[in-house]
Chain A
Amino acid sequence: MEVLLYTILTLCVLGVLAAVILYFVAQKFRVEEDPRIDEVEKMLPGANCGGCGFAGCRGMADALVKRDDISELFCPVGGSDCMKAVAAYLGKAAAEKQPEVATVRCGGTCEKRPRTNEFNGAKSCAVAASLYVGETGCAFGCLGFGDCVAACAFDAIHMNPQTGLPEVDPDKCTACGACVKACPKMVIELRKKWPKNRAVYVSCVSKDKGAVVMKACKAGCIGCGKCEKVCAFGAITIANNLAYIDPQKCKLCRKCVNECPTGAIKLVGMDPLPKEPKAPAAPKAAPAEKAAPAAKETPKATQAAAPVEKAAAAPAPKAAPAAKEPNHES
């Protein structure tokens, strides 16, 4: 009993002694820190994903408080709302960016893009990309080993075993850009997020010539330029045998979707435009179209005007702020 008593007493004395020492040490070596950093950190989402360029939210909060000009800092997870709240608290002007979503720009599913060999090495896209072209004939497309899935901190991207391609869950995706960095083929792009997760994009990144693409993949962009011609907003450009739809200029009119001969232009969250009667024969009619492009295109536009307008009506009001946003940035 006595031993027990002495033990407890000794420990208590030691504890008190240590507490006193620690108190004075803490006073002496106290690091002055702006209390606002803690407050700002609380406002940030706390995902520590690194999407802002800092190692974690604390680093971002520190920079937000210390820098006078925070227009270059942006939290992709919290988005504009979060940045606005932080800016209001700090009395600074925040950057404003439209919401974005990671988009996998490869349509080379198992059926469309036949396997030509089997990769037997370490199951990683980075390893496969450093060694050779990949399991298919396409040197640009998705390798399918899921480096992007491993990189995602939000469980927002998953491999679809049916297609062999990754799929993004737009509701979970925070556009932090981790998958974009992880992909050695640079297949994933952060694109403007439309309401109801609508999207129109070219689901191919192959810069090969049309004939080479056709041989490797049935869903690839062959750079024919039909979409570029049909686009009324100048949103589509062709470079290096590859079409690209500028998400800032695109109005989701969907005309290009029907025009694409390989189905490389993907439409998400919307019904395609009703096909015109002559649509099935379109590829054959191509030479005739070439002969009189102007004459053909005008009636096409008027014919399609009604459905287009209906379609355009829905996204139009939402497209308006989108059009403004670039102004904010500049």
Chain B
Amino acid sequence: MKTFPMGGVHPSENKLSSARAIEVLPLPEVVNIPLAQHIGAPAVAKVAKGDKVLTGQLIAEAGSFMSANIHSPISGTVTAVDLVPNGQGLRQMMITIKREGDDWAEGIDRSATLVKECNLSAQEIIARIKAAGIVGMGGATFPTHVKLSIPAGKKAECVIINGVECEPYLTSDHRTMLEHGEELVVGVTILMKAVGGEKAYIGIENNKPDAIAHLSKIVAAYKGIEVVPLKVRYPQGGEKQLIAAVTGRQVPPPPALPIDVGAVVCNASTTFAVYQAVQKGMPLIQRVVTITGKSLKEPKNLLTRMGTPVSTLIAAAGGLPENTGKVINGGPMMGRAMVNLDSPVTKGCSGITVMSEHDARRHEASQCIKCAKCVAACPMGLEPYYLSKMTQKKNWDEVEARMITSCIECGCCQSTCPAYLPLLDWIRLGKQTTMGRIRARAAAAAPRK
């Protein structure tokens, strides 16, 4: 069975909610919509305090090409456009909307009927995806229209759909594939048309045999789409790892992109959102969020409107257990611990993981014994112990030469370290600093040209 060639770990899967059908969370009373919930420039608010908005109405426009539109997830009145603390407690510009009824903007088809035919051109498809504000919903939140705009001189040979969901606990992509398989496959044909690719692969880890069987049955009727079962291994859902696993091609280090090896990768939930945007005119205003954790009463998958407070989801799953040590936005490997549970669900939030005090606490760090387990575990072929040490010594030239910017922050090194060293904490800081230095250099070089 296929998998990526280098590194990786296999943490306990803990897919507690994989058998739970998607439930629709009741409409929230108040939502907070951050203007920056994607990579790139923040969106620019189009509404002001006191404005009435409809569900699906554009409330913030993309700030640049590398940005995304934002639509109102509910109908009601804008009560504020102000700084509100996000999950990390940092203040961020958000649009606050108080709900009144449930009125939808025009042109949105909310029926469940499947629309297979798509007679739009590639440009029109990308324009609709851009208008709907779709971003990568696996967590990286890269604007999808940017990804689909193939630069001149490059050619997309294949579209790869990421149905791997290698992150422990999370099951939102899994449930989407099972319950919206038909729509998802239509979404794949739309993506193929948009990038002009002949071939599409849907990569799914073999811990989801039901999804593999279901989608295999559906794609039999389509030309050029293939379901690829993959061996369970984290971080297979990483873009570069998935391309290597499915096609055997290695994406060169930055600034090279997946398109340089002829691949465009799209997450399963994103593909479903693309179907809804192109065929039904539905902007990205809701997503499936897994609310999970061993201590939770009812782990489940909830179809949630964007901007819903995380605390509402936790309440819907039976409330916050008393022994909770950490609530994580995302899964345990790549997610971010939250300090503010009133913060909203955003486009990139695939799950909320609740950890007990016992599970959440990190072990006391000791000394590096140079066992090189982190080196063996790194899927990007880096030397985590060295990058971590050099970051602590502020040796920025050295970390840059050792390709710290290639780090995908998967956390394999830290999870495998027998000394419990906070390797990723340091590497993430080193990566941020190095990126800042590269940007500063580019800015300094620009005026001379």
Contacts and interface: CB of A to CB of B under 8 A. Distances in A.
Interface of A: 116-117, 120-122, 124, 126-127, 130-134, 137, 139, 208
Contacts of B85: 133, 139
A132 B425 contact: no
A185 to B, nearest CB: 12
B88 interface: yes
Contacts of B90: 132-133, 139
Interface stretch (B4-12, B111-119, B223-231, B426-434): B426-434
B91 A208 contact: yes
Contacts of A127: 422, 425-426, 428-429
Nearest to A150: B392
Given A127-B426, A131-B336, A133-B88, 14 more contacts: A117-B339, A120-B360, A124-B429, A127-B422, A127-B425, A127-B428, A131-B88, A131-B428, A132-B89, A132-B336, A137-B89, A139-B85, A139-B91, A208-B91
Interface residues of B, number: 19
A130 B428 contact: yes
Contacts of A132: 88-90, 336-337, 339
* Residue in A117, A121, A137, A139 with the greatest tally of chain B CB atoms within 10 Å: A121
A151 to B, nearest CB: 10
A130 B336 CA distance: 12
Given A127-B425, A130-B432, A131-B336, A120 B88 contact: no
Interface of B: 85, 88-91, 336-337, 339, 360-362, 365, 392, 422, 425-426, 428-429, 432
Given A139-B91, A208-B91, A122 B339 contact: no
A121 B91 contact: no
Chief secondary structure at chain A's binding surface: loop
A133 B339 contact: yes
A232 B361 CA distance: 54
A69 B90 CA distance: 45
A120 B91 CA distance: 22
Nearest to B422: A122
B429 A133 contact: no
29 contacts: A116-B339, A117-B339, A120-B360, A120-B362, A121-B362, A121-B422, A121-B425, A122-B426, A124-B425, A124-B426, A124-B429, A126-B429, A127-B422, A127-B425, A127-B428, A127-B429, A130-B429, A131-B336, A131-B425, A131-B428, A132-B88, A132-B89, A133-B85, A133-B89, A133-B90, A133-B339, A139-B85, A139-B89, A208-B91
Contacts of A208: 91
A150 B85 CA distance: 30
Contacts of A134: 89
A120 B361 contact: yes
A121 B428 CA distance: 12
Contacts of B426: 122, 124, 127
Nearest to A120: B362
Nearest to A132: B88
A208 B89 CA distance: 13
Nearest to B431: A130
Nearest to A207: B91
A122 B425 contact: yes
